[in-house]
Structure 1
Amino acid sequence: MTTSKERGESRELVEMAWDPITRIVGSLGIYAKIDFARKEVVECHSTSSIFRGYSVFMKGKDPRDAHFITSRICGICGDNHATCSVYAQNMAYGVRPPALAEWIVNLGEAAEYMFDHNIYQENLVGVDYCEKMVAATNPGVLERANATEAPHAAEHGFRTVGDIMRSLNPLEGEFYREALTMSRVAREMFCLMEGRHVHPSTLYPGGVGTVATVQLFTDYLTRLMRYVDFVKKVVPMHDDLFDFFYDALPGYEQVGRRRVLLGCWGSLNDPEYCDFTYQNMNDWGRRMFVSPGIIVDGELITNDLVDINLGIRVLLGSSYYDDWAGQEPFVTHDPLGNPVDMRHPWNQHTIPRPQKRDFTDKYSWVMSPRWFDGTDMLPLDTGGGPIARLWSTALSGLVDVGGYVRSTGRSVLINLPKSATRPETTFEWKIPERDGELLSNALERNRARSYFQAYMAACALHFAEQGLNEVRQGRSQTWKPFEVPDEAISCGFTEAVRGVLSHHMVIRNGRIANYHPYPPTPWNASVRDVNGVPGPYEDAVQNTPIFEENPPDTFKGIDIMRTVRSFDPCLPCGVHMYLGRGKELRKLHSPHAYATG
């Protein structure tokens, strides 16, 4: 325990650390100072202790290998990287895949969203809200949950909120086990379309190698309808659970809350409009089935992918790298003639400089991506992916998917047809607010994850119908040939499961001269930049009040962990918590090792 004085007041601050929290670019560590007297987190630093270096060893490679190599960035969402890389290659090679191929890719990616959000929400982050965890951190809340009738009991089958919590107990809970089963179903759906999970074996630039038949889509639809049946239970159950926390713990909306600064790059292309040319990227980007957008203080700043691309900046600040200022730029202007900044991924040089961790200087391998709005470098977050995607899609008002999904300008309507045991159901995700204030916080990030599972199930129904129509019309081609140019610059934009994903490539002499993949984790886990602005994890944790009932010597940090996990970082096999001088308080073991990007 350490004491310090801040703002002229004597405050006793306890230094605590959770390290490692594993994730794709290394081990995530959260270092915090907590004022237990005032029940608040005063300071937070997010660290990553492992250097990966994909941007270094991609240089000189054959561009056609890019998607195979970059899919190995992640052991869970490698297909998102492969897809994004293929998009960048399609742009570079000037190839437009057949429509059938794009419907197959969309079906694979939709299955990945359903698989990953389900297993994360129910089997990993759900443990933070299960009976055993609530009993250990807020026994008074559990007592109230056991006495609180669940408003949507008829839809999900759990009479009280306490019953919902018990259903989430690891390995024992009814819903916990059901979700595991459904994760397998969703993974099978993915493999039908892309051959192998998580590194696709049938996904290439120019299209796919999947053999498209009526049987293929029928097998997918059979599994999809099981998932539709399941997700009709998921959404109302989580609405009841998260609404209960607001009621049981007044002020809980402040846990994990930060300014609404959300980024979404859009995903799931419409082959009728998407030609993968940079010149038309603004148009086909707006035709995506998940709309791109930058949201600042709840308002849509832009949904133009060209603007989004040109606004990306990679800052250093507190990360273990040397600056590349003064290096020769790879790209001075984009294909439309717009100037490209030296801090844009097309021009980035990765120059690692290992050194001792110092929270007053350099302390992480994560850089600090920011989006430049013309005045400020904005530390965007993805909210774990779904909240940014739904918010951007809602505000853009561009999506109308065959009666299954429609964006209204302030909400997203999701229509699911009658399934085996449940009637036709409509859900509406609304931009979250409470007492007139917009909310980007832990509970709303998690809530959006449930709604987005329903959104993807509805979209997948449309994709399957379109794919079947192509086959029945005799348009069975799934790939087009292409040639690799000697010189090219290109980019791919999509949404990985937990948020924004871009791949930027420069080709010279037929080889990769520069390549930078930017998944959501660097955005969410970024560190203090050159302007001293903290990254989203740091910012959200620093603003978090403490509601846990335990004293410092038995403190489990549940409110802090709920904040970090709401962003869907890669969760740990073991979390170690200790006081500032290294005394270990508690060791927690998750039943699953889970590495995601």
Structure 2
Amino acid sequence: MTTRTRGRGQATETERELVEMSWDPITRIIGNLGIYTKIDFNNGEVVECKSTSSLFRGYSVFMKGKDPRDAHFITSRICGICGDNHATCSVYAQNMAYGVKPPPLAEWIVNLGEAAEYMFDHTLFQDNLVFVDYCEQMVKQTNPSVLRRAETTEAPNARIHGHRTIADVMRAFNPFTGAVYQEALQVSRVTREMCCLMEGRHVHPSTLYPGGVGTVATPQVFTDYLARLLRVLDFVKRAVPMNDDLFDFFYEALPGYEEVGRRRVMLGCWGAFQDPAHVDYDYRHMSEWGRRMFVTPGIVLDGELLTTDLVDINLGIRIMLGSSYYDDWQGEETFVTHDPLGNPVDQRHPWNQTTLPHPQKRDLDGNYSWVMSPRWYDKRTGDHLALDTGGGPLARLWTTALAGLVDTGTVRATGHSVEINLPRSKSLPEMSFEWRVPRWSNTIERNRARVYFVAYAAGMAVHFIEQAMAEVRAGRTKVFSDFDVPEEAIGCGFHEAVRGVLSHHMVIRDGKIANYHPYPPTPWNASPRDSFGTPGPYEDAVQGQPIFEENGPDSFKGIDIMRTVRSFDPCLPCGVHMYLGGGKVLQQVHSPTFGAAG
């Protein structure tokens, strides 16, 4: 629902008229996200933005007292789209807590499942949800002059993807009727099948466990996966140049469009795809095995790679309240005072968080969201950084490119770019793509990075399946290692959900979960203003951006605002988690007249 009210606002130098506009809920995403803005139409600027969530859930509350071995089965239900990412991250945290290392083949199987998940989710979101904002039908309504120009603009890569003009590309993304829209739905089905082959079920895996997997590792299961992958590669090879053509056109057709959704380069990535030759899940070795992941963890600030050390990343996490509906837990129990390396752990760290929900009326000048405000503490400057994930792919590619640590043959990080080499597929020859670190962290580059990461995941899947088949051919088919649940332990898992950073922190006491906090990407991206008044990434990216839509206030659709918010790939169930309170006892009374048959 979009609402509009007019009011007078104070500009920096002169008084100007501001129009209050809200979109609540935002469509085409999961969850109850509301965006509230103040817009200066006379000067073509979004002056203020507040991001709200009216949905409250609370896994951190009801996980307490559970058997730790159930954690991944429970937390996968946090989300109905990226549940396997949660299950995987929880398994990583449990492996650390139990001190267990899965066999190499198990790690390759998990990596194959997660690669399929990235291909599935990014394709579905990009082509069936994001591109609705760039399709012919939408551009005709919001920027008809841009569509007229698109009709006469040749697509530079038409010989690869088959669409002669940019307008033809836009038509291919029209909902339900567009050729690419329809094909993407089929690709999403195939990639889900690939995920199921490795993880048993999608989206809540049935064969992922601490210590390994329950997948029966036969040559047939990997052959079935590869056959599907070769079909997907055909689609990916056309999608990358087609995306480039469309996004480059928007920069050309709308000078200044790079400012839409632009914010300071302040990106976080927690890494993905473990290397079984190095990972042992021992916290004391986490700095080393973290850097061996096939997506490099890291934090990028103003183009500089601050760290690739998961220990530094872990210790810097701070959960702040600010404008959210919770009471502070200062003074509550401290679960972890020092990490296994002897480093002090802050009270605002997830290991020490106590969730104290405080329902209240929304106040945009006070507390207005159920999402907390995760921040990363930069010990060099004392700043609490409002990191964003760039929708996931932008941060993953940026950190991996700058670190220059990944080289599998199919994917290579160069220090300034990522090279992706895709082998011959069902109907297309071998192709190579290069994602280069962009000038901006903005709406277009978040969306562009998504299709490049589909290619990245596909290239990694080729590598992983080669490694898995080598294990099978060598007779190393063990996929599970035994373990015992300790009476006292802590664990943390770091992974990348589709849309960005994902961590699970667990404390075990008396063999049960004493504290558990999953932090997916959406709390980082959708957070409200924190205790220092710093806006969250959605808010920061939207406010201050120019308006390019040709409609006036009375028919304004807010297309560039919607493009910006959706470029982060929002998923509000991952932002806040269900809480049931003390519950109620319900009594059902059966009518003697109708009985059971009534």
TM-score computed with the length of structure 1 as normaliser: 0.94
> For residue 156 of structure 2, what is the aligned residue in structure 1?
151
Q: Contact 1:258–1:543 at 8 Å: present in 2 too? A: no
Aligned mate of 2:385, from 370, 378, 388: 378
Correspondence 1:391 to 2:398: yes
> For residue 205 of structure 1, what is the aligned residue in structure 2?
210
> For residue 424 of structure 1, what is the aligned residue in structure 2?
430
Aligned 1:166-181 pairs, distance under 5 A? 166-181=171-186
Measured in 1, the distance between the counterparts of 2:204 and 2:172 equals 32
Change (3 A) 1:24 1:70: farther
> For residue 413 of structure 1, what is the aligned residue in structure 2?
419
Q: SS of the counterpart of 1:279?
A: helix
Q: Contact 1:132–1:169 at 8 Å: present in 2 too? A: yes
Aligned mate of 1:354, from 359, 373, 376: 359
> For residue 305 of structure 1, what is the aligned residue in structure 2?
310
Question: CA RMSD, aligned part only?
Answer: 1.2
> For residue 83 of structure 1, what is the aligned residue in structure 2?
88
Measured in 1, the distance between the counterparts of 2:234 and 2:28 equals 32
Aligned 1:26-37 pairs, distance under 5 A? 26-37=31-42
| 1:570 Cα deviation after fit | 3.4
Percent sequence identity over matched residues? 74
Measured in 2, the distance between the counterparts of 1:4 and 1:278 equals 52
> For residue 290 of structure 1, what is the aligned residue in structure 2?
295
Correspondence 1:100 to 2:105: yes
> For residue 277 of structure 1, what is the aligned residue in structure 2?
282
The runs of at least 4 aligned residues of structure 1 exceeding 6 Å deviation read 22-25
Q: Contact 2:324–2:528 at 8 Å: present in 1 too? A: yes
Measured in 1, the distance between the counterparts of 2:28 and 2:312 equals 30
Q: Contact 1:25–1:50 at 8 Å: present in 2 too? A: no
> For residue 371 of structure 2, what is the aligned residue in structure 1?
366
Measured in 2, the distance between the counterparts of 1:236 and 1:416 equals 14
| 1:9 Cα deviation after fit | 1.8
| 1:264 Cα deviation after fit | 0.1
Deviates more, 1:20-29 or 1:358-367: 20-29
Q: SS of the counterpart of 1:237?
A: helix
> For residue 520 of structure 2, what is the aligned residue in structure 1?
519
Aligned mate of 2:407, from 383, 389, 400: 400
Provide, for residues 30-84 of structure 1, a one-character-per-residue CA deviation record: whole Å limited to 9, x for no partner: 0000000011100000001111011000000000000000000000000000000
Alignment gaps of 5+ in structure 2:
1-5, 574-598
Aligned 1:184-199 pairs, distance under 5 A? 184-199=189-204
Q: Contact 2:53–2:572 at 8 Å: present in 1 too? A: no
Provide, for residues 186-243 of structure 1, a one-character-per-residue CA deviation record: whole Å limited to 9, x for no partner: 0000000001000000000000000000001000000001111110000000000000
Q: Contact 1:124–1:571 at 8 Å: present in 2 too? A: no
TM-score computed with the length of structure 2 as normaliser: 0.94
Q: Contact 1:318–1:361 at 8 Å: present in 2 too? A: yes
Aligned 1:489-504 pairs, distance under 5 A? 489-504=490-505
* Matched AA of 2:463: H
> For residue 534 of structure 2, what is the aligned residue in structure 1?
533
Q: Contact 2:502–2:518 at 8 Å: present in 1 too? A: yes
| 1:543 Cα deviation after fit | 2.3
Measured in 2, the distance between the counterparts of 1:98 and 1:234 equals 36
Measured in 2, the distance between the counterparts of 1:288 and 1:242 equals 30
> For residue 562 of structure 2, what is the aligned residue in structure 1?
561
Aligned mate of 1:3, from 4, 8, 30: 8
| 1:26 Cα deviation after fit | 4.5
| 1:359 Cα deviation after fit | 1.3
Q: SS of the counterpart of 1:20?
A: coil
| 1:3 Cα deviation after fit | 1.9
Measured in 2, the distance between the counterparts of 1:178 and 1:51 equals 36
Measured in 2, the distance between the counterparts of 1:351 and 1:24 equals 27
Measured in 2, the distance between the counterparts of 1:23 and 1:311 equals 33
Correspondence 1:118 to 2:123: yes
Measured in 2, the distance between the counterparts of 1:357 and 1:571 equals 17
Change (3 A) 1:368 1:571: closer
* Matched AA of 1:393: T
* Matched AA of 2:10: K
Q: Contact 2:373–2:527 at 8 Å: present in 1 too? A: yes
Aligned mate of 1:265, from 267, 270, 275: 270
Q: Contact 1:22–1:570 at 8 Å: present in 2 too? A: no
Correspondence 1:510 to 2:511: yes
| 1:373 Cα deviation after fit | 0.7
Provide, for residues 133-156 of structure 1, a one-character-per-residue CA deviation record: whole Å limited to 9, x for no partner: 000000000000010000000111
* Matched AA of 1:482: F
* Matched AA of 1:317: G
Measured in 2, the distance between the counterparts of 1:496 and 1:104 equals 17
> For residue 462 of structure 1, what is the aligned residue in structure 2?
463
Alignment gaps of 5+ in structure 1:
434-438, 573-597
Q: Contact 2:31–2:572 at 8 Å: present in 1 too? A: no
Q: Contact 1:25–1:51 at 8 Å: present in 2 too? A: no
Measured in 2, the distance between the counterparts of 1:222 and 1:420 equals 9
Measured in 1, the distance between the counterparts of 2:250 and 2:412 equals 29
Correspondence 1:50 to 2:74: no
Paired residue total: 566
Q: SS of the counterpart of 1:133?
A: helix
